[in-house]
């Protein structure tokens, strides 16, 4: 069983829990681009609004590789996502928009998370990190030079850490080839679909910002492959494929 020093993660997230909400002033944008970007960020704000339930479930799961420190780290992770939600809420208002109360894609995401046990929940959260990184990076590029872009890049740095935290979870709990193969199969069902929902579901925003849905999807899929490798289930599907190719 891989051992992970969850205390280091706990310390990192606890240290940065007190950061103030930064400036989110957007650059000057055409009205249609402002409205479209406000809507997309409002949808992401809903996605960032976490529930502490996953931390309780991780604690109740009592996996020997996790423990209470991991569960408490997840609680800090949910709080950090809550800070992202508050930042995005300010950005939405700065763009002249209004926060959303619900969104069909977000509701589906929340239901999907609850459909399985703790590993499935973390897998869906890992997909959310990949999607957020692809989207926030594209928005930061499109609004480069503005306080909003700088703040989105700071959020991206947090999401990179979250991605590594979730990858460490899978390295710790998925210890057999069968478990890793199951995770790989689930991952390649979830991650591309989640990416497509944002790349093509928000195509109007990307086109108003001069970005391409296809390039966001491409960047996201590259990040998804990297996340799977880091989580330890990347080669699980590739290995049998390589073996069958060498037999032909
Ligand atoms: Fe986030
Ligand atoms: Fe995150």
Q: What is the pTM of this model?
A: 0.90
How far apart, in whole angstroms, are the C-alpha atoms of residue 202 and residue 189?
20
- Which ligand number lies closest to the CA of residue 130? 2
**What average pLDDT is seen over the chain?**
90
Give 85-113 pLDDT, tens digit per residue. 999 999 999 999 998 987 776 677 666 66
The parent domain of residue 107 ranges over: 9-243
| Total number of domains constituting the chain | 1
Report how far ligand 1's centroid is from the alpha carbon of 80 (Å).
7
- Which CATH number is 224's domain given? 1.20.1260.10
In a domain, 164, yes or no: yes
How far apart, in whole angstroms, are the C-alpha atoms of residue 23 and residue 201?
28
Report how far ligand 1's centroid is from the alpha carbon of 159 (Å).
6
In a domain, 228, yes or no: yes
Report how far ligand 1's centroid is from the alpha carbon of 158 (Å).
7
Give 135-182 pLDDT, tens digit per residue. 999 999 999 999 999 999 999 999 999 999 999 999 999 999 999 999
In a domain, 248, yes or no: no
Report how far ligand 1's centroid is from the alpha carbon of 48 (Å).
5
In a domain, 1, yes or no: no
- Which ligand number lies closest to the CA of residue 163? 2
In a domain, 88, yes or no: yes
């Amino acid at each position: 069983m891989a051992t992970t020093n969850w205390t280091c993660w706990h310390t990192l997230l606890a240290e940065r829990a007190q950061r103030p909400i930064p400036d989110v002033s957007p650059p000057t944008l055409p009205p249609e681009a402002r409205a479209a970007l406000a809507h997309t960020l409002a949808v992401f704000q809903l996605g960032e609004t976490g529930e502490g339930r996953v931390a309780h479930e991780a604690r109740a799961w009592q996996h020997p590789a996790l423990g209470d420190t991991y569960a408490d780290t997840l609680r800090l992770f949910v709080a950090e996502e809550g800070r992202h939600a508050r930042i995005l809420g300010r950005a939405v208002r700065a763009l002249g928009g209004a926060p959303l109360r619900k969104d069909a894609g977000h509701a589906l995401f929340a239901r999907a998370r609850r459909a399985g046990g703790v590993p499935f929940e973390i897998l869906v959260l890992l997909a959310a990190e990949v999607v957020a990184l692809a989207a926030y990076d594209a928005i930061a590029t499109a609004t480069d030079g503005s306080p909003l872009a700088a703040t989105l890049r700071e959020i991206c740095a947090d999401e990179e850490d979250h991605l590594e935290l979730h990858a460490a979870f899978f390295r710790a709990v998925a210890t057999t080839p069968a478990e890793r193969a199951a995770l790989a199969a689930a991952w390649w069902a979830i991650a591309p679909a989640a990416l497509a929902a944002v790349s093509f579901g928000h195509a109007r925003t990307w086109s108003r910002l001069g970005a391409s849905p296809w390039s966001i999807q491409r960047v996201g899929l590259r990040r998804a492959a990297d996340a799977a490798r880091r989580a330890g289930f990347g080669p699980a599907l590739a290995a049998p494929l390589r073996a069958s190719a060498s037999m032909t």
